[in-house]
Structure 1
Amino acid sequence: MSDKNKAILERGNAAIAEGNNEGLLSSCSDNTEWIFVGDKTLKGKEAVRQYMAATYIEPPKFTVTNLISEGDFVTALGDITLKDEDGKAVDYSYCDVWRFRGGQIIELRAFVIKT
């Protein structure tokens, strides 16, 4: 199952990079929960959709340096660049721990640090 979950996340990441947020959201359960440690928690697919629309002003540019899967979890380590409200590029390093159930993303626990 872990290789299947890894493939789901890779397809979702590719969609996000192309500006297709729904490509990842289609793999999320309706009650998915995204926890940005030390910042905020999003509950439900619609909250995540709104967050993505507001945050991904332009498709993010990211590099996944490690993608590790085991059981129901996939961990992604990497770097991401997002544009802020002023159009300025802001760089971050991240570690995302994704939890799956039945081929759907049910939780993200994200550790994100501005670099």
Structure 2
Amino acid sequence: MEHFRFEGSRIEEIVVYFGFDFRVDPFADVKVKRLSKAFATGEVDYIAGNIAKDVQWHFVGEAELQGREAVTNMLEPMRGVVAEEYRTKNIITAGNKAVVEGTMIMPEENGQEKLYSFCDIYTFDHTDSNIIKELSAYLIELPSKEEANKQ
């Protein structure tokens, strides 16, 4: 799709949109919320079904994964693990990008809980708006309420 801006009879600007554009998708927030819910509820199959075969997954400060198989293997221990609490502070969508910011409390194997703050930056495929092409994840472990009260 093209957009032309004229100055008199002269074309001043041409903007060309390729592929999918979240700015005109009224369901963009719904799609991103559904992906976030899948992470919060350990729905590994849903996540794996919505990532590109050649996905790039960046855990900022930790690991970088390439490809659906590597990401699915990394997610497997999350299968069925449900966050005790999951709060989304912001969802921002523009073009083929989406940013989700929030906090979550996750159960640990020892029965304890850990509090995290997160910010995920999604880049969706231009040809299929439901497919994640790249994800950068910022995850920060926060002190528990008990630890914070001791300080």
The two structures have a TM-score, normalised by structure 2, of 0.67
> Is 1:14 the equivalent of 2:41?
no
Higher relative contact order (CA 8 A, sep 6+): 1
Percent identity over the alignment is 26
Aligned counterparts of 2:94 and 2:72: Cα–Cα separation in 1:
27
Higher percent of residues as strand = 1
Q: Show CA shifts across 1:31-55 (max 9, x none).
A: 1111011011121112221222224
Q: Which has the larger radius of gyration?
A: 2
Aligned counterparts of 1:19 and 1:95: Cα–Cα separation in 2:
18
Count the aligned residue pairs. Answer: 115
**18 and 96 in structure 1: CA distance in 2 versus 1, 3 angstrom threshold:** closer
The 5 Å alignment of 1:41-52 reads 41-52=64-75
The two structures have a TM-score, normalised by structure 1, of 0.85
**74 and 110 in structure 1: CA distance in 2 versus 1, 3 angstrom threshold:** same
TM-aligned CA deviation for residue 99 of structure 1: 0.3
The residue that corresponds to 1:108 in the other structure is: 135
Instruction: Give the partner amino acid of 2:88.
Output: V
Unpaired segments of 5 or more residues in structure 1? Answer: none
Moved more, 3-12 or 58-67: 3-12
SS at match of 1:77: strand
Aligned counterparts of 2:132 and 2:105: Cα–Cα separation in 1:
23
The 5 Å alignment of 1:30-109 reads 30-55=53-78, 58-60=81-83, 61-101=85-125, 102-103=128-129, 104-109=131-136
RMSD: 2.0
